[in-house]
Amino acid sequence: MSQNRNWLLPLSAGALALLIVASLWVGDLPLSPTRVWAGLWHHDELAATVLWQIRLPRLIVAVLIGAALSSSGLVMQAYFRNSLASPGLLGVSSGGAAGAVIAIASGWSAVSLFILPAASIVGALVATSAVLILARRGASTERLLLAGIALNALLGAITSYVLTGYTLTYERNAQILFWLMGGLEDRTWEHVWVVLPVVVVAALLWPLGRSMDLVSLGSEEAQSLGVDVRHLHRKMLVLATVLTALATAVAGAVGFVGLIVPHSFRLLSGPEHRRLVPVTLIGGAGFVLACDLVARTVGHLRLGIVTALIGGPFFLWLLRRER
């Protein structure tokens, strides 16, 4: 039966490659394949600008946040032993949102392209530290969950306050809402640099796969089978948090990726994390890239809307299937 599943990784990689090609080709400015080729080699100035300054950064950010959010969701699902867990459970993305919203409302985000992502990361880290402190050392997963719920509520309130009570101009409100929906418009190479550490973090995740198998079936059982659960849990939490924080910082609050992708690939590829980690990384990258392609071609939707429109019904279908 495991032979069946070995095709999934090459298939996903192939799909990702196709999506990358499509993402270079598709855009508001129509470019023929020859112009795309010429642009890539800098032979055609306008095409080169469009490809190298607009489409390529956007494409790389999409791939990296797709990988980040899906692997973060995978880790959360193993951590909480629940296939419905998602990266936002512990308030990381709410913290990132609050940080970004404050940066936009105060006008600081206009000063430099790095400020908005930086504010978002600060917000995310503050939120996570708050959760960890609230939950204390050796906290059970239940306590962490509750702390996350409380934090999500608090941060949501801060965001709402800023939105309704603080902005001087409607345009800033519009920018905030724009960011909150999650999207990849006009991503620059600065955003690529901010989100590039995802590659390192994902690499750190890979060797934890076998231990995650055990821990996902029970932390005490895993402890008695030889897994140092406290250290592993700490590593998992840190990695998931960093991945989510980085993704939120450059793309806003994009939902459903961290829930849908690991869940679906687990159904297709089986629950073994050594196989699931790489497949989720690639599959997640492809999923976000595909959603972004849809977002761009179908009347300028935002990425967060597309992932929700696809993710929501898909999630309901999954729930029906299980029962």
Question: In the set 6, 34, 53, 140, which binds other proteins (CB under 8 A)?
Answer: 53
Choose between 200 and 217: whose C-beta lies nearer to other proteins: 217
Angle at 85 between CA 127 and CA 182, to 5 degrees: 60
Compute the least distance from the CB of residue 14 to other proteins, in Å.
26
Segment 192-231, which members bind other proteins (CB under 8 A)? Answer: 210, 213-214, 216-218, 220-221, 223-228
Question: In the set 61, 101, 121, 187, which binds other proteins (CB under 8 A)?
Answer: 187
Distances (CA, A) of 185 to 121, 230, 251: 19, 40, 9
Choose between 129 and 224: whose C-beta lies nearer to other proteins: 224
Compute the least distance from the CB of residue 295 to other proteins, in Å.
10
C-beta neighbour count of 246 within 10 angstroms = 26
Selected range binding other proteins among 68-76, 78-86, 89-97, 192-200, rule: CB under 8 A:
78-86
Segment 280-299, which members bind other proteins (CB under 8 A)? Answer: none
Choose between 4 and 129: whose C-beta lies nearer to other proteins: 4
Give the span between the Cα atoms of 253 and 235, in whole angstroms. Answer: 24
**Contacts with 169 (C-beta within 8 Å, 6 or more apart), sequence order:** none
Which tokens go with 293? 């392609």
Give the span between the Cα atoms of 159 and 165, in whole angstroms. Answer: 10
Exposed/middle/buried for residue 311 (C-beta within 10 Å: 0-12, 13-18, 19+): buried
Q: How many helices (H) and strands (E) does the chain have?
A: 17, 0
Selected range binding other proteins among 5-13, 103-111, 118-126, 196-204, rule: CB under 8 A:
103-111
Give the span between the Cα atoms of 62 and 46, in whole angstroms. Answer: 23
Q: With H, G, I as helix, E, B as strand and everything else as coil, classify residue 169.
A: coil
Are 100 and 116 a contacting pair, CB within 8 Å? Answer: yes
Q: Which residues of 283-292 are buried (b: 16+ CB within 10 A; e: fewer)?
A: bbbbbbbbbb
Question: In the set 17, 29, 133, 157, which binds other proteins (CB under 8 A)?
Answer: 29
User: What is the total count of residues that contact other proteins (CB under 8 A)?
Assistant: 58
Is residue 83 a contact residue for other proteins (CB under 8 A)? Answer: yes
Is residue 43 a contact residue for other proteins (CB under 8 A)? Answer: no
Which tokens go with 191? 């955003």
Selected range binding other proteins among 15-23, 77-85, 87-95, 284-292, rule: CB under 8 A:
77-85
Choose between 34 and 224: whose C-beta lies nearer to other proteins: 224
Are 16 and 285 a contacting pair, CB within 8 Å? Answer: yes
Choose between 129 and 169: whose C-beta lies nearer to other proteins: 169
Q: Residues 113-152 vs other proteins: string with x where CB under 8 A?
A: x--x---------------------x--------------
Question: In the set 164, 298, 321, 323, which binds other proteins (CB under 8 A)?
Answer: 164
The gap between the terminal CA atoms of the chain, to the nearest Å, is 24
Residues that bind other proteins (CB under 8 A): 1, 27-30, 46, 49-50, 53-55, 58, 81-83, 107-111, 113, 116, 138, 164-165, 167-172, 175, 178, 185-188, 191, 210, 213-214, 216-218, 220-221, 223-228, 266, 270-272, 300, 302
